[in-house]
Structure 1
Amino acid sequence: MLGLFWPKPRKGKMASARDETFEPSYDSGLISDRSHASNSSILSDMMKNTSKDGSLLEVVEISVTEQEKRTGNAAMGIKDVFTVYLVETCRVKDNSNNIAQLSMDSSSLWRRYSEFELLRNYLVVTFPHVVVPPLPEKRMMAMWQQLSTVDNFDADFVERRRIALEGFLQRVAAHPLLCQDELFHGFLQDAEGWKERVHSTGFQIKQDSRLKSLSASFRLKKPNRQFEELKSYATDLQNNVTSILKIRSRLSDRLYGLHKIHGNYGRVFSEWSGIEQEMGDGLQSAGHHMDVYKDYIDDYMAEEEQIADQLKEYIYFADSLKAVCRKQEILQFELERCEDLLNSKKLQKDQITGKAPQKVFSFRGMTSKLFGQDNAETKESRAQLISDQITDAEDAVEKAKQNIQDFTDNALKEVDRFKRQKSRDLKEIFISYAILQIKMAKRGITVWTNTKECFDKM
């Protein structure tokens, strides 16, 4: 639809005169240096505000510097077209902290997006209590439309994904626990054999299925209040960020169209200047300024899109929070199953010893009616067997309780860390967005001030 607002191309002498480069001067001193920041530098600023104590970022710099389209052979003779990304690691100082025996040198290697996915899936399974940083989407999606909107090999999309993949690696490297993992180090260093080492851990077997998570969620008898609140918080965070992005998208579309339609002013002023002698110079200059007003919106929209990408990351961070909650529900469900089994075994023992009545229609009750009661020796043998089973069930309950207690303690610490990080990041993102709007407004004021001066000289 925005194409409807583009001015028609002009022909002849007047049009060529107006095609000369023109850049009005304006005061940008009141705008912070970060107003000129790229998406990478915005993320770098957020990483600088993150504590690096004991993290890999103290020792090395990690970057994804470029991307390349490649073609390989897939099954059935079909060509596989994919993009690879150059991951570079540069050691900046010796290991002076407590990073576990780090022996990492500067390196440079290519990785496919699927390898980034494999790394993240491994981290999610290996560190279930951690809010693992999300990856950018494999295909550019509008979260509120659920429609693929951009070709996977579109240059702008691939560049934005490169920046987001760099952010993912930097976030993992800044995490005090994730950064210690040897397979993460291998992802950064080992060009050969890394995938085989990951698969050899058997992490896929430990991976909880969605069906298992859903079953645990619906069958829990006593959900943990803190994690129920955390699930609601994650949903609210996701909804709020999505709403902000939808509003920004609508505003950007309208603003872009508004600026582009101002090109029609430029066309009219230029054509008009050709038939006016006294007013001609003023109209021609005003046309230049209208063209500037039309054209400068492109760079600002690109910057704004980069800021929106940083905000969109928190839609996927909310999914990471929910994944932690699902793991807690599975552990809680396993505890409740162990407790149910223990209670069942205790009831069986009481029935054998006569402390509790047997069910009339149970299998044991029917056999007693048909063949008579068990003798004392049989009862004692059965009671001993049940006692052993009760001991095993009690051990299982204690183990399940310890597992869920350890998970809860670690997960809540991790959630607290995530919330501090989120507050720092969103503050940086919103400030960058506000500064960009100020910068755009100042540019517009400058253009219109210069246009007014042209009219004054007519």
Structure 2
Amino acid sequence: MESESSSSAASVSGSPTQTEADLSRHMLELEEDDDLEVFSKDATLTDASSFSASMPMSPASMINQYKLEEQDIKDVFITVDCPESHVTSIETFVTYRVITKTTRSEFDSSEYEVRRRYQDFLWLKGKLEEAHPTLIINPLPEKFVMKGMMERFNDGFIETRRKALQKFVNRIADHPILSFNEDFKVFLTAQAWELASRKKQGPGLLSRMGETVRAVAASVRGVQNRAEEFTAMNDYVETFGQKMGMLDKIAQRIVKEQKEYLEGMKECGPVYTLWSGSEDQLVEPLKAIAGCIDNCCKVTEEQVAGLSENQVPILHEYVLCAETLKAVLRRRDNIQAEYESKVDALANKKADKENLKEEIGRLEDKVECANNTLKVDWERWKRNMQGDVKSAFVDMADTNMNYYKKRLAIWESFLTSQKTDVHLEKDTDS
């Protein structure tokens, strides 16, 4: 009996994949050639939760069934636009138009147009996590904006959220497994009343409570034989979250300081204009300086808007991604912990031996599928992340250089005009 138990447990910890030597070393290792391929298609993704409880096939068979050939042509295009504010006696909320164009045969039409609010996107994310617990689903933008950044219902916040929601659904559409999820199809195609009906078909309260109790029990028990590669993933995510959190705070501080600098410049310009009224000999130079400051203000406004709308959201998204990854790794650990508890029960003869053996076999397959799914999606996510972060840093460098060149050109133009005026005065005097 003990030999059976130990051999079953060993099948979890003894993964055939070689452990990654040092994931932290590759935190932001951005190769020149292949890291810019943001939406790569992996051909071996699968998910244990999408299979029936009986698990009639081996993990290898199920993985082969779900192998997908790489797609060079995208077949689902989604646009999120036209936000509209709605005010009722109970609440105020914003809806977004979601337009889907597709060539997939499982859709009844080639184009759909629906309106969705934030809580609908939240429902979709929850359903995807429920159906695919060890796939990495990109985070949604936060429900409430960070204090001091912007008001919840102003145009800037709504536009930033719209971009984030569009990115969220298109990441799902680009995924070789998530894009075929039935709830995703319903989200894209169903009218509001149909979606509301679909939401009511979720698992009952007792079922949800049972799942929660099992998850809590598994987390309390912990994993006894976690493979080294998943421990390395945990370490990577912890370090990644800390670094992205630090970059996020620095980026927000830069935006705040740039806004303060902009306000100072706006106050400075009128001073030169007033000064020109009391200095007959300096009227033109002082007015020219005021004009230069005004032009610099316009350039700085563009720079602040670019940082707020493009660079900062990307960094903050990956702060949220760190929490998503932690949740995925916890769900994988819970699956393994449930399996290990059954192995222990069999070893201690605490329950019916034959039934336990059958359940252990099913759970062993589930663990193996969860491991394989996470490993493949992990590599896919890392490539996406590296491409996004590299692109954000390069864009930030390019835009900052362009803005500083514009400001430099403004002041160089002023200096040139003053030198020209000096030469003209000398020629006149001579």
1:391 matched residue in structure 2:
354
Alpha carbons of structure 1 residues 113 and 265: separation in structure 2 relative to 1, 3 Å: closer
8 Å Cα contact 1:133/1:320 also seen in 2: yes
Alpha carbons of structure 1 residues 397 and 209: separation in structure 2 relative to 1, 3 Å: closer
User: In the alignment, which of 77, 83, 88 is matched to residue 61 of structure 1?
Assistant: 77
1:6 matched residue in structure 2:
none
Q: Report deviation, 1:80.
A: 2.3
Any residues of structure 2 matched to 1:36-55 within 5 Å, and which? 49-51=38-40
Letter in 1 for 2:370: F
Distance 1:454 1:274 in 2: 20
The higher relative CO (CA closer than 8 Å, separation ≥ 6) is in 2
Q: Report deviation, 1:67.
A: 0.8
Percent identity between matched residues is 23
Any residues of structure 2 matched to 1:47-126 within 5 Å, and which? 49-51=38-40, 58-72=74-88, 78-91=89-102, 94-95=103-104, 101-126=106-131
Distance 1:80 1:56 in 2: 44
Q: Report deviation, 1:264.
A: 4.6
8 Å Cα contact 1:140/1:149 also seen in 2: yes
Any residues of structure 2 matched to 1:432-443 within 5 Å, and which? 432-443=395-406
1:131 matched residue in structure 2:
136
Residue 140 of structure 2 aligns to a residue whose secondary structure is coil
1:242 matched residue in structure 2:
245
Q: Report deviation, 1:126.
A: 0.3
Aligned-CA RMSD value: 2.7
Distance 2:390 2:293 in 1: 35
Alpha carbons of structure 1 residues 432 and 302: separation in structure 2 relative to 1, 3 Å: same
2:378 matched residue in structure 1:
415
Q: Report deviation, 1:251.
A: 2.4
Distance 1:173 1:160 in 2: 20
Distance 2:246 2:266 in 1: 31
Letter in 2 for 1:155: D
1:217 matched residue in structure 2:
219
8 Å Cα contact 1:136/1:313 also seen in 2: yes
Q: Report deviation, 1:63.
A: 0.6
8 Å Cα contact 2:252/2:312 also seen in 1: no
Q: Deviations over 1:160-219 (max 9, x none)?
A: 111111111111101110111122112111113123234425387468867754543342
- Taking structure 1 as the reference length, the TM-score comes to 0.71
- Taking structure 2 as the reference length, the TM-score comes to 0.75
Residue 136 of structure 2 aligns to a residue whose secondary structure is coil
Letter in 2 for 1:50: F
8 Å Cα contact 2:95/2:116 also seen in 1: yes
8 Å Cα contact 2:94/2:117 also seen in 1: yes
2:198 matched residue in structure 1:
197
Letter in 2 for 1:128: P
8 Å Cα contact 1:55/1:174 also seen in 2: no
8 Å Cα contact 2:150/2:156 also seen in 1: no
Alpha carbons of structure 1 residues 160 and 416: separation in structure 2 relative to 1, 3 Å: same
Q: Report deviation, 1:54.
A: 6.0
Letter in 1 for 2:219: S
2:184 matched residue in structure 1:
184
Letter in 2 for 1:292: N
8 Å Cα contact 2:99/2:114 also seen in 1: yes
In structure 2, stretches of 5+ residues that fail to align are 1-34, 42-68, 423-430
8 Å Cα contact 1:87/1:110 also seen in 2: yes
Distance 1:304 1:254 in 2: 12
In structure 1, stretches of 5+ residues that fail to align are 1-45, 73-77, 142-146, 349-385
Q: Deviations over 1:110-149 (max 9, x none)?
A: 11111111111000010111101211111112xxxxx575
Of 173-182 and 249-258, more deviation after overlay is shown by 249-258
Letter in 2 for 1:200: Q
8 Å Cα contact 1:57/1:170 also seen in 2: no
Distance 2:73 2:100 in 1: 10
8 Å Cα contact 2:255/2:308 also seen in 1: no
Q: Deviations over 1:248-269 (max 9, x none)?
A: 2222322332343234543333
Q: Deviations over 1:344-388 (max 9, x none)?
A: 11xx8xxxxxxxxxxxxxxxxxxxxxxxxxxxxxxxxxxxxx8xx
8 Å Cα contact 1:136/1:164 also seen in 2: yes
- Asked if residue 343 in structure 1 is aligned to residue 306 in structure 2, the reply is no
8 Å Cα contact 2:76/2:173 also seen in 1: no
2:319 matched residue in structure 1:
315
Structure showing greater radius of gyration is 1
Any residues of structure 2 matched to 1:146-165 within 5 Å, and which? 147=147, 150-165=150-165
2:393 matched residue in structure 1:
430
Alpha carbons of structure 1 residues 148 and 293: separation in structure 2 relative to 1, 3 Å: closer
Distance 2:70 2:200 in 1: 28
Of 198-207 and 420-429, more deviation after overlay is shown by 198-207
1:326 matched residue in structure 2:
330
2:272 matched residue in structure 1:
269
Distance 1:203 1:54 in 2: 38
